Amino acid sequence: MRKHFDTLALALSVGMTLGAMMFAPSCANTTTPPSGGAKDTIPPVVTKVSPLPGSTNVARKGTRLSVTFNEYVVVKESKNIYLSPPLEKKPQYKIREKSLVVSFEGELDSAKTYVLDLTGAIADNNEGNMFPGFTLVFSTGERIDSMLLSGTVRDCNTLLPVEGATVMLYKDHSDSALFKHRPDAAAKTDAWGYFSLRNIQDTLYRMYAILDNGGNNLYDPDNDKVAFIDGLVRPVVKVADSLPQLQKYDLKDTLACLARPSEHELLLFKETSAKQMIVNKERVGDRTAYITFMAPDARIDSIWFKGISHKKLIRQFNMQRDSLELWINDPKPQPDTLYLNVDYWKTDTTGTLVKTLETIRLPRPKGKGNTKTRGKKDIKKEDTTCVFTVDAKPEYIEQNGFVIEFKYPVVENGWDSVRLEAVNPKQQKSRMKYHLEKDPLNLRKFTLRPSGKFQEGWEYILKMPHRKFKDINGFYNDSLNVKVSLPKDEKASSLNLNIKGTSGKTYIVDLMGEKMDKVLRSYTVTADGTIPFPYLKAGSYCIRITEDANQNGLIDTGCLLERRQPEKVRLYQLAGGSTSIKVEEKTDIDQDVDLNQLFSEQSKYEKKDTLAVAVPDSAAVGR
């Protein structure tokens, strides 16, 4: 191996400007793209490494790793100089001439195989061409570990790949290992969420992934996202430089990147905090404020404003009971500073819930003083009016109806005076009956739905009369007429999902854009039937389906200590396996979705490659 490396290094040093480093198995790898035109587009090339890749008995103290290039380089991303297994402190580095010198604070462990990865860290000094990567393997003992594990990390809600996640292996199988000490091996995911943990021992591991915001290779449940594999894993693949798992690909090469074997899939989620305390509070108006809690299901025994009758307090929790809105139902001027007393159960330093009384100071926000003490120029219309909005988008009106939301709670209402009129294509008006729905989670929000069916080409007018609604500030509403009609766009298309296999379960069906960064429309499904998505513009869409196990209308997260994965999410796939549904102009598409089949089978995000192995927790551990 040394002879092979010395020969190659010598050839490079005497004038070879293009080439690829080729090392014996379990040593190192790098790539060099072909040259371009006059502009320098060639990344740096490694010409010398010290100690040589695959070296054993490397000194534990004062270790220096040197990688020399054929041109001057700079460190673009120091966080990408990554050592596995990681030490307490990050690797230190210096640029000396054309060499990168990496050192470590403290001693390395004895008889340990280490992997230094430079992927995404180095660029040439002139043109900024990124060095595709280099992996240096060495050992402080007599031998180099030779096993490999690979996989992909995805977001549990979108199933999109997560870049920069830290994948960790632990020989300590206790639940506390991830919190207490650093892993026995670790690697970072690339832009495809892909990772390869190379040159590891042949033994049983717990496998985790975290989005390590603290950069300390320890899991912080308050700030980090986490993923885990059920049961234990054991590597069965041996390291060889010819393996696609270890190649340094151009990440724009989609086919090559997706073709890499992925033994394990981890779904990253944000845990619900186990610590309960008030983490945020704000007075957002003269008579309104909110407080938020670190954990859900906050237990409040009593809550009151100093000097204000509890009968005048209106409060509303959100569904998770981790956010509380408060209003004072009294139009008279309020003090510049309110004092809110909260008697609730808070987590103490031992992790125990203890009854605690906190007094929160809430100063009036700037510009929100009493209108009588403010200049006329500072007073806006919304400062003297019962403010409300009406959401009635033509493409959503059939599903959502007219959604009316007041800025402040209403103490007097005139719903019986609200009119809904229909205007046919001949401009003939008729009054429509409607029914009103109160939002169970938002006392300021109402949905108005007509008793009859919306007709394409018809216009609908919602009329909110003047001075029929009064809010807690003592202000009345202005009149408002909202006109809406079903779209007449002849280019619009529709997508109908014929759902079957619900089997008494509840599912959340979301229509999303191709990038899966936004929910366009959503349905909660409890029975077989057809879900319509009308008035779609030409483009590509995805269908995300969540098994809502607890029927709360949310995509619930997982829990590490309970070994509970987040609620199952699937992307609807076409016959060819694509999750992207292309909708052309003026097209009506029908798709059959068997939920029972979709969720009973392992998704491609849960299937393991034939090379992977799952071992029960009770299996014997080989050290």
Q: Write out the two tokens for 334.
A: 């309020």
Domain with CATH 2.60.40.10 in the chain: 493-600
Phi, psi of 326 (to 5 degrees): -135, 140
Pick the CATH number of 382-485 from 1.10.3720.10, 2.60.40.1220, 3.20.20.70, 3.40.50.720: 2.60.40.1220
278-367 placed in CATH 2.170.220:
no
CB atoms < 10 A from the CB of 242, how many? 9
Mean pLDDT value across the chain: 87
CB atoms < 10 A from the CB of 399, how many? 15
The answer for residues whose C-beta is within 8 angstroms of residue 609's C-beta and 6 or more apart is 261, 262, 263
Local structure of 596: helix, strand or coil = helix
Give the pLDDT band (50/70/90) at residue 3: very low
pLDDT at 602 over 70: no
The answer for residues whose C-beta is within 8 angstroms of residue 440's C-beta and 6 or more apart is none
Strand (E) or helix (H) holding 179: helix 177-180
> Region 200-211: what's the mean pLDDT?
97
CATH class given for the domain over 1-142: mainly beta
- Look up residue 371 and give its amino acid: T
Domain with CATH 2.60.40.3710 in the chain: 1-142
Q: Among 382-386, 509-513, 548-552, 612-616, which is the least confidently predicted range?
A: 612-616
In whole angstroms, give the CA distance from residue 45 to residue 131. Answer: 8
DSSP of 211-236: E-TTSSSS--TTT-EEEE-SSEE---
Give the pLDDT band (50/70/90) at residue 7: very low
CATH class given for the domain over 493-600: mainly beta
> Region 438-455: what's the mean pLDDT?
93
In whole angstroms, give the CA distance from residue 546 to residue 554. Answer: 9
In whole angstroms, give the CA distance from residue 327 to residue 286. Answer: 9
Local structure of 582: helix, strand or coil = strand
Q: Write out the two tokens for 255.
A: 């086919």
Q: Write out the two tokens for 509.
A: 């069906």
pLDDT at 14: 34
In whole angstroms, give the CA distance from residue 146 to residue 80. Answer: 23
In whole angstroms, give the CA distance from residue 138 to residue 135. Answer: 10
pLDDT at 162 over 80: yes
pTM for the structure as a whole: 0.77
Q: Write out the two tokens for 303.
A: 């809550």
pLDDT at 5 over 50: no
Q: For the chain, give the number of residues.
A: 623
Q: For strands 323-328 and 313-317, give the pairing.
A: antiparallel
Residue 375, classified by CB atoms within 10 Å of its CB into exposed (0-12), middle (13-18) or buried (19+), is exposed
Domain with CATH 2.60.40.1220 in the chain: 382-485
Ordered alpha helix ranges (H), 213-372: 254-258
Ordered alpha helix ranges (H), 451-545: none
Number of H helices, E strands in the chain: 5, 44
In whole angstroms, give the CA distance from residue 53 to residue 57. Answer: 12
Give the pLDDT band (50/70/90) at residue 378: low
> pLDDT tens for residues 398-423?
999 999 999 999 999 999 999 999 99
Local structure of 177: helix, strand or coil = helix
In whole angstroms, give the CA distance from residue 590 to residue 572. Answer: 13
In whole angstroms, give the CA distance from residue 308 to residue 340. Answer: 10
Higher-pLDDT residue of 513, 28: 513
The answer for residues whose C-beta is within 8 angstroms of residue 350's C-beta and 6 or more apart is none
Q: Among 25-34, 265-274, 413-422, which is the least confidently predicted range?
A: 25-34
pLDDT at 23 over 80: no
The CA-based angle 96-98-103, given to 5 degrees, is 45
> Region 473-501: what's the mean pLDDT?
91
Q: Quick one: CA dihedral 248, 254, 256, 259, positive or negative?
A: positive
Pick the CATH number of 145-263+612-623 from 2.60.40, 1.10.10, 2.60.120, 1.20.120: 2.60.40
> pLDDT tens for residues 295-327?
999 999 999 999 999 999 999 999 999 999 999
Ordered alpha helix ranges (H), 329-419: 397-400
